[in-house]
Structure 1
Amino acid sequence: MKIENDVQTKALMDIDHNIDALVKQIELLSYVNPENIEEEKARFFSSKYLTDPVFKYPTINFNRFKLHRKLFTQRLELIEDIKIRNLYEDIIYTYSGLIQCIETIGSGKKFYYNCLRSFGTPTENDVENAKFILHFEDENKDIPAFQPKYSATEAEVFFKEFSKKYDFSYSIKQSNQISAIAMVLNNIKTLVLNTNHTYSDNEIAVLTNHEIGVHMVTTMNGMLHPLKIFSNGFPNNEETQEGLAVFAEYMSNNLTVTRLKELAYRVIAVDSLAKGYSFSRTFRLLHNQYDLEREEAFYITVRSHRGGGFTKDYLYLTGLKKVYDYYHAGQDLSVLLTGKVSLEYVDEIQTLIKKGLAVPAKHITDAYAQNKNTNKKVDFILRSLK
């Protein structure tokens, strides 16, 4: 559809362009991942889990004050459509919050409180859901599919082969400075693999569907719109995007109880922040009380405590439940693949498509073509979550 050529559209396009110029350098994950995880892990283990790690973070390379000031000088009153104007108001507050998160990384409580404003914290229901999942037995880890066998370099081959399903290209790089075992950097269209990790067949199946099938798909779809906000990200897009990504694991028959328990442990770890737990205390909670193997307990603790208290990790489970219910209510998943968008703004997305300011999703997650899940226990758990 051709873009409406009028004053209102020009005002919206100008505001969107201005915001894009300001925020495309903000990739929170680029700043919040510690640079010395492995060194601090060795020190932490040698201290018998008593001495909290002291993490170092990348240098911030933008002027924070100028970004804040320019964000709030946008003339949103020129956008006539109330819903779209409200969306952009939410966007400006969201990015201001992310800037505050970035500028306080490593400062302890300041970063934690900024994360609370940006991502929230688990509710009592969320914690109860996590504990419910933890009652179930893990899959048999002696099954060959769960055995570690591939280096990051060997894993690259599987990602490249999987990506032939899609009409786009991206870069792959390796790093020993990320807390995840793989991640997509949206702003540079890059998949990053963790060189410290040895991948199993199950993890390859999970990660290809999660990272490429959703995160890279929404990265590429986001770039196709006249409006850049589809690429930079809507408010609260993290919950929807992670929910979609784990849902792709489910639809491709790769979501296991073990994986659901990993997401539940993340909720427990984030909840420990609200209780004022130190790094070592969260670790001991996971390792001693929940019997998590110490390597896994360490990395889950890093994910939640990095920066000073990063609360985002509980959103994987809440996002999965919302997307699962959305799909089973017969709703269209493709609208959620149009970019880094949020469930809360489906009506606004459809309005923008009708106005010619956005386009339907070109790339569709392969796993969504057919529900291949055969794991009845996983279905029971997801249906039962509050």
Structure 2
Amino acid sequence: MKIGNDVAIKALFEIDESIDALVKQIELLSYVNPTNIEEQKTLFFASKYLTDPVFKYPEINFDKFKLHRELYTQSIELIEDEAIRKLYEDIIYTYSGLIRCIENIGNDKKFYYNCLRCFGTPTENDVENAKFILHFEDENKEVPAFQPKYSATEAEVFFKDFSKKYDFSYSIKQSDKMSAIAMVLNNIKTLVLNANYTYSDNEIAVLTNHEIGVHMVTTMNGILQPLKIFSHGFPNNEETQEGLAVFSEYMSNNLTLTRLKELAYRVIAVDSLAKGYTFSRTFRLLHNQYDLEREEAYYITVRAHRGGGFTKDYLYLTGLKKIYDYYHEGKDLSLLLTGKVSLDYVNEIESLIESELAIPAKHITDSYAENKNTNNKVDFILRSLK
């Protein structure tokens, strides 16, 4: 790769630094999670699932117009290498799209259409894959490993113990205003646990591999990179990052049919958005037609409908299939751990490493060292997905 002369390389780093300073202010998950999920759940259940929740969201604490303007005034024409210049163009368009998502949270149509631009929506194939998974009989959830057991405070101990495998440190906090049961906030190197949730042994095994083994690993690897793009995220990185995270569950022998079904229900919920379903109709689809227990149906519906229609959730299953195939083709997973990167830009990542503008991943997902999966049914399903 011909990156360019010293002047062009200096310009690349200045543009990268400038974009990083701007996008540090944008963490979509910090804004799209309703602050009144539990209160609205009580009202929704009392209405016999007929009255849609009215969600409230955190206030936006940045100047939206100024961010847009400063993103588009970057002198990316000074980047000599065409592939790298195109990558930074894509980044600017992506982050401008995320700002549009944030500024329209709560405005259903505008938020939904901006989400479509950022994350897309399930294809017919994706929906068929989800329905294929849901045809399989449920595992026995009565076994001890699936029983709720640990409070968020007790769960913290397991995360801290698991993290001893890695040479990095991060913060852990709890929140009672989130629809996920755990998540990593990349920009502040923080694992957030759902204060209202009681975790099972299986969920602890899944989440330690998923959140720490991949999301925190790629956060920390991204910080070590010369170019900040690896830290704030490549375009379309969500599908790759979630695929890697669920794949770590598979490699550590913690990916169950129950978990695959959860990902399939998310696809069904997001597809219902594309069909114009309201919150209550999506919930009833999951609860009545698919016999999903009402608490789980509620939180999956919240995840899909928050903000006005958050389509990202279908990417967990599509990402898993792509990473599963990538691994079984004998390709290098460590390239995808170099930061918040995307499968779409593997060639660019390799070129940046060759040009010493990026470094190989220092932290490697522990479960990727050996395939410990013994669940033949899970393997059969993943192989069979279209």
Instruction: Provide the C-alpha distance between the structure 2 equivalents of 1:166 and 1:383, rounded to a whole number of angstroms.
Output: 31
Matches within 5 A, 1:245-264: 245-264=245-264
- Matched residues in 1 for 2:137 and 2:337: separation? 33
* One-letter code aligned to 1:310: F
Matched residue type, 2:160 = K
Q: Deviations over 1:169-211 (max 9, x none)?
A: 0000001001000000000000000011100000000000000
Where structure 2 has 5 or more consecutive residues not aligned to the other structure, the ranges are none
- What letter corresponds to residue 102 of structure 1 in structure 2? I
Maintained 8 Å contact 1:4/1:355: no
Task: Tell me, yes or no, if structure 1 residue 236 matches structure 2 residue 236.
Answer: yes
Contact 1:4–1:356 (CA<8 Å) still a contact in 2? no
TM-aligned CA deviation for residue 5 of structure 1: 7.2
Q: What letter corresponds to residue 288 of structure 2 in structure 1?
A: N
Partners in 1 of 2:70 and 2:174 — Cα distance? 35
Question: 2:224 aligns to what SS in structure 1?
Answer: coil
Residue type of the partner of 2:58? Answer: P
Question: Which amino acid in structure 1 is aligned with residue 215 of structure 2?
Answer: H
Contact 1:236 1:342 in 2 (8 A): yes
Matched, 1:86 2:100: no
- Structure 1 Cα separation of the partners of residues 225 and 149 of structure 2: 40
For the residue of structure 2 that corresponds to 1:255, the secondary structure is coil
Q: Name the aligned partner's letter for residue 311 of structure 1.
A: T
Question: Which secondary structure state, in structure 1, belongs to the residue aligned with residue 74 of structure 2?
Answer: coil
Aligned to 2:206: 206
CA distance 1:282–1:157, change in 2 (3 Å): same
User: Any runs of at least 4 consecutive aligned residues in structure 1 with deviations exceeding 3 A, and if so which?
Assistant: none
C-alpha deviation, 1:372, in angstroms: 0.1
CA deviation string 1:76-122 (max 9, x = no partner) = 11111110000000000000000000000001110000000000000
Q: Does 1:267 align with 2:278?
A: no
Q: Does 1:139 align with 2:139?
A: yes
In the TM superposition, what are the counterparts of 1:135-174 in structure 2 within 5 Å?
A: 135-174=135-174
What code does the residue aligned with 1:194 have? N
1:330 corresponds to: 330
1:8 and 2:8 equivalent?
A: yes
Shift of 1:75: 1.0
1:241 is aligned with what amino acid? Q
2:302 counterpart residue number:
302
Structure 2 match to 1:359: 359
Match of 1:28 in 2: 28
TM-score using structure 1 length: 0.99
Structure 1 unmatched ranges of 5 or more? none
How far 1:139 sits from its partner (Å)? Answer: 1.2
Separation (CA, whole Å) in 2 of partners of 1:69 and 1:218: 29
Distance across 1 between alignment mates of 2:218 and 2:272: 32
The code of the aligned residue for 1:40 comes to Q
Contact 2:4–2:80 (CA under 8 A) maintained in structure 1: no
Shift, 1:247, TM fit: 0.0
Q: TM-score, normalised by structure 2?
A: 0.99
TM-fit CA distance, 1:138: 1.6
Matched residue type, 2:281: R
CA distance in 2, matches of 1:116, 1:293: 28
State, as a whole percentage, how many aligned pairs show the same letter: 85
Q: Deviations over 1:187-242 (max 9, x none)?
A: 00000000111000000000000000000000000000111010000000000000
**Residue 146 of structure 2 aligns to which amino acid in structure 1?**
F
Q: CA deviation at 1:4?
A: 8.7
Asked if the contact 2:174/2:194 (under 8 Å) is kept, the reply is yes
Q: Distance in 1 between matches of 2:277 and 2:123?
A: 17
Deviation at 1:355, TM superposition (A): 1.4
- How far 1:354 moved relative to its partner? 1.3
1:373 Cα offset (Å):
0.1
The one-letter code sitting in structure 2 at the alignment partner of 1:68 is: H
The answer (yes or no) to whether the contact 1:77–1:85 under 8 Å persists in 2 is yes
Q: What is the letter of the counterpart of residue 158 of structure 2?
A: F
Aligned amino acid, residue 281 of structure 1: R
Paired positions, count? 384
